[in-house]
Structure formats: C-alpha cells, structure tokens
Copies of this chain bind each other. A is one copy, B any other.
C-alpha cells in the first residue's frame, strides 16, 4: 500500500464514519493543519501521527509480506 492509496483509504474511512477533518483531528490528537496536509497529499507524516489517525478511525497499522507474482 503506497502513499496515495493510504491517503485515499483513510479519507474514505473517515467519510464512511461521517467524521469531519476537524472531528478526526480532535479525536486523534493531531492538529487540524497536519491532517489537512496529509489528506491533501502534501505530507510525510511521522509514524506517530499516522498511528494516531489510524487508531481514531478504528484501524491498525500492520505489515504484510509481499508476494512475488509473475503477472502483476
């Protein structure tokens, strides 16, 4: 999952939960400015920031072993 996908995923998740950026920022304990930057693709959040956001959205960061598929 690369950058743009992660952003999209979190954004969709937020909207699905009907939470505004303002609410999420507050819930997550992240500044609104930072969240806005992140969602608009202008960011490289720290793991802590990303975790806080994921957490507030009921998500968890995990690793997945990449599989080597021949045909993409």
Contact A6 B60 (CB under 8 A): no
Say which residue of B1, B44, B60, B63 sits within 8 Å of A9 (CB atoms): B63
Q: Which residues of B contact A2 (CB under 8 A)?
A: 51
- Which residue on B lies nearest to A43, using beta carbons? B47
- Pair A63/B66 contact, Cβ less than 8 Å: no
CB within 8 Å of B: which residues of A?
Answer: 1-3, 6, 9-10, 13, 44-48, 50-51, 54, 58-66
Q: List 25 A-B contacts (CB under 8 A).
A: A1-B60, A2-B51, A3-B47, A6-B47, A6-B61, A6-B63, A13-B63, A44-B46, A44-B47, A44-B48, A45-B46, A46-B46, A47-B47, A58-B65, A58-B66, A59-B63, A59-B64, A59-B65, A60-B63, A60-B65, A60-B66, A61-B61, A61-B63, A61-B64, A62-B63
